[in-house]
Amino acid sequence: MSKLIVQKYGGSSVANVKKINQVAERIVSYARKKNEIVVVVSAMGDTTNELISLAKEINPQPSEREMDMLISTGEQISSSLLAMALHKKNYDAISFTGSQVGIITDVYHTKARILNIETKRIKDELQKAKIVIIAGFQGLSTHQEITTLGRGGSDLSAVALACALGADVCEICTDVEGVYTADPRIVKEAKKISYITFDEMLELASRGAQVMHKRAVEVAKKFNIPLHVRSSFSKKEGTIIMKKTSYIEEPIVRGIAFTEDEAKITVCNLPDKPGVAALIFNELAQNRINVDMIVQNVSHRKITDISFTVPKTNLLKTIKVSKRIAERIGAEEVLIDEDVTKVSIVGVGMKSYHGVAASCFSVLAENKINIEMISTSEISISCILRKKDGKKALKALHKEFELDKIKSRS
Amino acid sequence: MSKLIVQKYGGSSVANVKKINQVAERIVSYARKKNEIVVVVSAMGDTTNELISLAKEINPQPSEREMDMLISTGEQISSSLLAMALHKKNYDAISFTGSQVGIITDVYHTKARILNIETKRIKDELQKAKIVIIAGFQGLSTHQEITTLGRGGSDLSAVALACALGADVCEICTDVEGVYTADPRIVKEAKKISYITFDEMLELASRGAQVMHKRAVEVAKKFNIPLHVRSSFSKKEGTIIMKKTSYIEEPIVRGIAFTEDEAKITVCNLPDKPGVAALIFNELAQNRINVDMIVQNVSHRKITDISFTVPKTNLLKTIKVSKRIAERIGAEEVLIDEDVTKVSIVGVGMKSYHGVAASCFSVLAENKINIEMISTSEISISCILRKKDGKKALKALHKEFELDKIKSRS
């Protein structure tokens, strides 16, 4: 039976003419089966970064509105080229910008949120049996301006389109074969995960797994759109991200994320009284700094320390803001530690199993790895470690939870 | 008094970051005087050609609709970068695509014609004292598709905007200092022309002078918008193109154009009866081939030859079409000659002076240059010569009509 399929191809999948032709061939293999196909593409390879560099060379603090005018061209280029590649294979295709197709967003340039998608133009073209190609990562604001959606924007475009069109499938086609139990570049025994829940994927994504961005998974979860993360250049089944997996023998831990992109900040010797933590984190939030883990020490004589982690990209701003607050609240000093790593184990099974945390900490202890911060959620445990211990910890945990023994679909 | 100024900057004027900054500085020098400024930009340097090559690598016959999607990004990039450069100099600026600003065209992709310009958004931004930057060469069709305007498209955008906005001045800023009496790369005595009429400029442009494209001059003439062609990187006055010049001692010949971009086709021994020429040129027109000069030989025994010239870019198509017609009408053969050059002398003064043609032919004869085809209009005489004679003819004619002795404005 014919289906409505939304497919997203990332930048590395359309990085050059050869790859664009391969992607076109892949799309054709679906079109031959009389499916209706909507394709979302990212900009070719490094185009976006090159445009950003060019902008910063001209103006180190470019206007966000003009930035969107500039970088939205990247996806327009790849979309039109993909349409031409499909024409060459005698398939009818038509490319659109986000503005043309009515992907309506709010007015926050470079990080806009999708408000609505007008599907008429897409449906009209599908009706004419055309393959519809849409520039990802971009939209049109309610002020009639070109906007971009920020990191993971093309994934988000695909998910939102799948939702608006009521697609049967939303495929995220990328340069890896799916979601793995750990980064296969570090843990060579890492296995591809066949099925994973939205919540687990969200945890993995926010803990450092780069295969999919959190925002797209959030939207997919909200509207219950199953996602299929798979390779752009192989027919192998990838990872299906869905509401609930129904495998009988689900492993307790589903995956382990790993990141070196965060830094640890400690505000030392601050008065332990109500409102102090609120003051710090409100101020950080107002400065749009995303705080991840937070740990407050046990208080001694009404004096305590607060440690938290932030993305290294926000580090300079965080230091500035933290020092200002520290002075205001009479804290002694602000310590910055960039030499840390974060390892997180994730799995919905965890909450109903005792001893996962204990196993985790034991394994690290056996390997003489010191844990500096711990944070737990319903479905994850994250530990901040010395950077030098990160990869050793990742491998040890992967083995402990027997992730090397799970079976992937072909 | 403050003026509304439309300025167009060509691709070589915004080819890199340094030049974009220089153009920004030039714009600022006008903005400081409280002028209202609308800037039209071309794509950076060779961007358009690079995009076209990329497209042809994917599909040797790319769809024109997708071609427009692709190449319109070039001007969007340069516009936004120029806006950023102006922001850096603390001037408020905003960039727009042709679609955003309502440059409405017909539906003929890659060669669209401007039908109308909705000026509201531009006027609103000028009202807010912003410098308005508009991506040249592009528009939005009545079918809501992105279109491009073909060769000389950015000049056309500028002229049409100047017209729609009722601008006081329309400057065409380019990599030369104005219009010259002949190509200064060939004739080193060539002089910059201070004033020239629309008609003369049209003749020069269609006879090979590359400084401005014919279509833009046609529109400027139609709406009587004086154009100032000048250097992007110097304060020198350039050439003003206007309805009527009022110099007392106008030279008879104003400029000499030269081109090697045409080929000569001869259809030999065809029956000299009514309708044959119409048949040939109708068929060529239907194939969108632009014929320039046409000469029909004096008939002998009801048999004649017809020669005409076409741009070399259309040569293959022309040969195909001509051979088909030749066969149909019983002509003997079709001769192709690419080894020709065309030299044209232009000047509104010519029509009221006797002997210009005679002087022209005498000079060529004195230099032993054979004339193969001649065509004259009210204000021009064009000759097709052997390619090897072209530059010699250009120099001799430039001297004969004393173009090396005219005085330019500073």
Torsion of CA B137, B140, B143, B144, to 10 degrees: 140
pLDDT recorded at residue A352: 65
Report the gap between the CA of A161 and the closest CA in chain B (Å): 21
Q: Are B7 and B39 in contact (CB under 8 A)?
A: yes
As to burial, measured by CB atoms within 10 angstroms (0-12 exposed, 13-18 middle, 19+ buried), residue A217 is: buried
| Closest chain B residue to A121, measured at CA | B144
- Average of per-residue pLDDT across A180-185: 90
- Considering only CB atoms, B59 lies closest to which of A54, A66, A87, namely A87
On whether the CB atoms of residues A243 and A197 are closer than 8 A, the answer is: yes
Is A62 within 8 Å of B85 when comparing Cβ atoms? no
Instruction: Kindly identify which residue of chain A lies nearest to residue B77, measuring between CA atoms.
Output: A70
Measure the CA angle with vertex B262, ends B258 and B265; round to 5°: 135
Residue bearing tokens 């295709």: A93
Token match 């589903």: residue?
A254
pLDDT above 80 (res A209): no
Do the chains contact at B88 and A144, CB–CB below 8 Å? no
The mean pLDDT value of chain A amounts to 90
Of A319, A299, A296, the closest CA to residue A307 belongs to A296
Q: CA–CA distance from B234 to each of A128, B22, B173, B177 (Å)? A: 54, 10, 10, 8
Distance CA A256, CA A208 (A): 9
Residue B251 — very low, low, confident or very high, per pLDDT cuts 50/70/90?
low
Query: On the CB side of A312, how many CA atoms lie within 13 Å of its CA?
Result: 12
Q: Is B206 on the interface with A (CB under 8 A)?
A: no
Contacts of A85 in chain B (CB under 8 A): 58-59
What CATH number has the domain spanning A4-175?
3.40.1160.10
User: Among candidates B49, B65, B74, which has minimal Cα distance to B137?
Assistant: B74
User: With 80 as the cut, is the pLDDT of residue A153 above it?
Assistant: yes
- Please state whether A137 falls in left (phi above 0), alpha (psi between -120 and 50) or beta: left
Q: Measured between CB atoms, does A95 come within 8 Å of chain B?
A: yes
Sign of the Cα pseudo-torsion (A284, A108, B121, A134, in order):
positive
Tell which of B44, B57, B84, B124 to mutate to test the A interface (max A CBs under 10 Å).
B84
> Residue A84: which of B63, B84, B146 has the nearest Cβ?
B63
B342 φ, ψ (degrees, to nearest 5): -125, 130
Q: Which of residues 33-52 of B touch A (CB under 8 A)?
A: 51
Task: Kindly state the tokens that stand for B152.
Answer: 């000389």
Per-residue pLDDT, A292: 84
Nearest Cβ partner for B76 among A62, A69, A83: A69
Quote the pLDDT of residue A62. Answer: 96
**Alpha carbon of B58: minimum distance to chain A alpha carbons (Å):** 6
pLDDT bin (cut points 50, 70, 90) of residue B247 is low
- Which residue among B58, B84, B95 sits closest to A58, beta carbon to beta carbon? B84
Chain B residues with CB under 8 Å of A81 CB are 54-55, 58, 70
Q: Which of A204-213, B121-130, B358-367 has the highest mean pLDDT?
A: B121-130
Q: Could you say which of B20, B66, B85 has the minimum Cβ distance to residue A84?
A: B66
Residue A117 CA to residue A163 CA, distance in Å, equals 9
pLDDT band at A94 (very low <50, low <70, confident <90, very high): very high
CB of A66 within 8 Å of any CB in chain B?
yes
CA distance to partner chain A, nearest, from residue B119 (Å): 15
Q: Do A17 and B58 touch (CB under 8 A)?
A: yes
Sequence-ordered list of residues with C-beta below 8 angstroms from that of A105, at least 6 positions apart, any chain: A112, A113, A114, A115, A139, A140, A141, A142, A147, A149
Mutate which of A65, A81, A118 to disrupt the B interface (most B C-beta within 10 Å)? A81
Q: How far apart are CA A159 and CA A395, in angstroms?
A: 33
Interface touch B17/A79, C-beta < 8 Å: no
Confidence grade of residue A145 (pLDDT, cut at 50, 70, 90) = very high
CA distance B238 to B193: 8
Are A66 and B73 inside 8 Å of each other by CB?
Answer: no
Residues of A in contact with B21 (CB under 8 A): 58
- Which has the closest alpha carbon to A73: B86, B116, B99? B99
What is the sign, positive or negative, of the torsion defined by CA atoms of A324, A325, A328, A332?
A: negative
Q: Give the bridge partners for B337, in sequence order.
A: B264
| Cβ contact, residue pair A58, B100, below 8 Å | no
Residues of A within 8 A of B79 (CB-CB) are 69
Chain A contacts of B20, Cβ < 8 Å?
58
What pLDDT digit, counting tens, does each position of B187-215 carry? 999 999 999 999 999 988 877 777 888 88
Residues 6+ apart with CB under 8 A from B405: none
Spatial separation of the C-alpha atoms in residues B291 and B299, rounded to whole Å: 22
For range A282-289, the mean pLDDT: 84
CA atoms lying within 13 Å on the CB side of residue A261: 15
B299 pLDDT tier (thresholds 50, 70, 90): low
Cβ count near A90 (within 10 Å): 7
Tell me which residue has tokens 């086709």.
B265
| Residue A326 CB partners (closer than 8 Å, separation 6+) | A267, A270, A332, A333, A334
Over residues A377-409, the pLDDT tens digits come to: 778 888 999 999 999 999 999 999 989 888 776
Element (H, E) at B49: helix B47-58
Residue B305 has pLDDT above 90, yes or no: no
Q: CA-CA distance, A130 to A39, in Å (whole number)?
A: 11
B95–A79 C-beta distance less than 8 A: no
**pLDDT score of B126:** 96
Average pLDDT score, chain B: 90
Q: Which of A:140-199 have CB within 8 Å of B?
A: 144, 146
Dihedrals φ, ψ of B255, to 5°? -165, 165
**Which candidate from B65, B79, B84 shows the least CB-CB separation from A55?**
B84
Are A81 and B67 an interchain contact pair (Cβ–Cβ within 8 Å)?
no
Distance CA A166, CA B330 (A): 63
Give residue for tokens 């030279």: B251
Contact at CB, A81 and B55, closer than 8 angstroms: yes
pLDDT recorded at residue A291: 84
Q: Which of B25, B32, B4, B2 is nearest to B234 (CA)?
A: B25
Q: Where are the beta strands (DSSP E) in A121-247?
A: 131-135, 138-141, 146-148, 169-174, 195-197, 227-231, 239-242
Q: Measure Cα distances from A230 to A194, A289, A407, B326 in Å.
A: 10, 32, 16, 59
Number of continuous H segments (helices) and E segments (strands) in chain A? 11, 20
Q: What is the pLDDT of residue A132?
A: 98
Q: Are B231 and B175 in contact (CB under 8 A)?
A: yes
Q: Which residue has the higher pLDDT, A13 or A374?
A: A13
Q: What is the pLDDT of residue A137?
A: 97
User: Does residue A250 have a pLDDT over 80?
Assistant: no
Q: Highest mean pLDDT: which of A74-83, A380-389, B269-278?
A: A74-83
A51 to A20, A161, A300, B67: CA distances (angstroms): 20, 26, 52, 21
Nearest CB neighbour to B17, from listed A51, A58, A146: A58
- Confirm or reject contact between A94 and chain B (CB < 8 A): yes
Distance, C-alpha A248 to centroid of its chain: 28
Return the beta strands (E) in B291-356 as ranges.
294-296, 303-311, 333-337, 340-346
> In this structure, what token pair is assigned to residue B30?
């006008």
- For residues B28 and A235, the model is more confident at B28
Q: Does B378 touch chain A (CB under 8 A)?
A: no
Select from B54, B87, B99 the Cβ nearest to the Cβ of A63.
B87
Rg (CA), chain A: 23
Which residue type, as a one-letter code, is found at position B372?
E
In this predicted structure, what is the pLDDT of residue A330?
A: 85
Record the pTM: 0.83
Sign (positive/negative) of CA torsion A220, A14, B70, B22?
Answer: positive
Q: Looking at the predicted structure, is the pLDDT value of residue B269 above 90?
A: no
Examine the pLDDT at A304 and tell me if it is beyond 90: no
Is A101 in the B-facing interface, judged by CB distances under 8 Å? no
Six-digit token pair at A393? Answer: 């910890």
For chain B, the structural domain boundaries read 4-175
The predicted structure's pLDDT at residue A251? 67
Q: What is the mean pLDDT of residues A108-119?
A: 94
SS (HEC) of B24-40? HHHHHHHHCCCCEEEEE
Q: How confident is the model at residue B359 (pLDDT cuts 50, 70, 90)?
A: confident
**pLDDT tier for residue B352 given thresholds of 50, 70 and 90:** low
Q: Which residue, B29, B36, B25, is CA-closest to B86?
A: B25
CA dihedral B328, B329, B334, B340 (to 10 degrees): -120
Question: What's the mean pLDDT in A230-254?
Answer: 82
Amino acid present at B146: I
What is residue B293's predicted lDDT score, i.e. its pLDDT? Answer: 84
User: Identity (one letter) of the amino acid at A33?
Assistant: K
Chain B residue with the nearest C-alpha to that of A54: B17
Please tell me the distance from the alpha carbon of residue A257 to that of residue A151, in angstroms, as a whole number.
19
B94 touches chain A (CB under 8 A): yes
CB pair distance less than 8 Å for B62 and A84:
yes
Rounded to whole angstroms, how far apart are CA atoms B240 and B221?
A: 12
